[in-house]
Structure 1
């Protein structure tokens, strides 16, 4: 039980951070929160987009799928350990903020090689850089969608097995076979429902009680008449 509880805690923690990723900007930002919403980050970048880079510098944006949550050593700028993204649109909004502000078009690199990367790897030659970690929520949503589709496929499997019988029906001149499933009286007519059964049982019980009471009253009357006849006989004997 302790092992299962530990696994549950670890799984919950992994799912809690599945829609967050680290972020680095060579330009200092005003945010200082531990978790920053992706929309708020995009709004702040849009405000400083025209002056984000020095004159003549080109902005390079690295979007990394497996970026470590480790701040670069001895480097200025702003590091955010957790940026919360609600969806893929929030990831794209970081780039869109520069286009909306009319800034020069950035150079975008999408890195999805499955390897773990550090922010320092992308700070060697460019002074105007954004390193954006991409969360794993898209993979989790895909996995959940595949599990749902697989579950629905398992439920529809009996119907798929019955399908060849209808497809294999005779050609012209023969009456087509009915693909209707066999159903019992409960499914077809829904007459003997639980309520009907309950009413029937109660009715039978009331009939039994009534017949017992009538028999009891009849026996009392018979005993009374027999006792009355015995008294009349004793009077006549006297």
Structure 2
């Protein structure tokens, strides 16, 4: 059973997320919060596998709550709910250790897939979010889209061939176990590759590595999970 906390200052949004998650018999919503401070307190109390946080909340916002959750309850994965126009917040959340990013207007199946991925230790970037992040970065002082893609390819060029294979599947949202089965490796070997990839790319988490993968254009095509 995947235990989940939902945090959003809008009761209707919380009810909608809860309704979507209720369709999956393996997911249980154990708590709801109306702001970031309450979310952190409830995560400490219930220790859910995943905390689903709205980015914009009164008082302690989702980004601040995510950072505090990752600091105090690191076993809880964080999925951020965002809307279009919040690209700067997404970048901040990436730096704060959030592992998943979903658009509120996305498909219900995407919400469930994201929670399952993060609960399994993977990163999950909604394709729309990944595209927005890459486009936003290209419009900032960080450089043009072509420049960022070139920089990403250069960073990926420092990886071994096997690490590039792992990064491609990581960018598609697969867990270590799923990547191991795709590449016919032991899961512990994949875990070691992921640690090396993060270090070589100079990023702190899998979601940030996934952004680099998207920029470099090496994300593996979506495939049916091997464990279904």
TM bin, normalised by shorter chain, reads under 0.3
What's the TM-score, normalizing by structure 1?
A: 0.24
What's the TM-score, normalizing by structure 2?
A: 0.25
Higher relative contact order (CA 8 A, sep 6+): 1
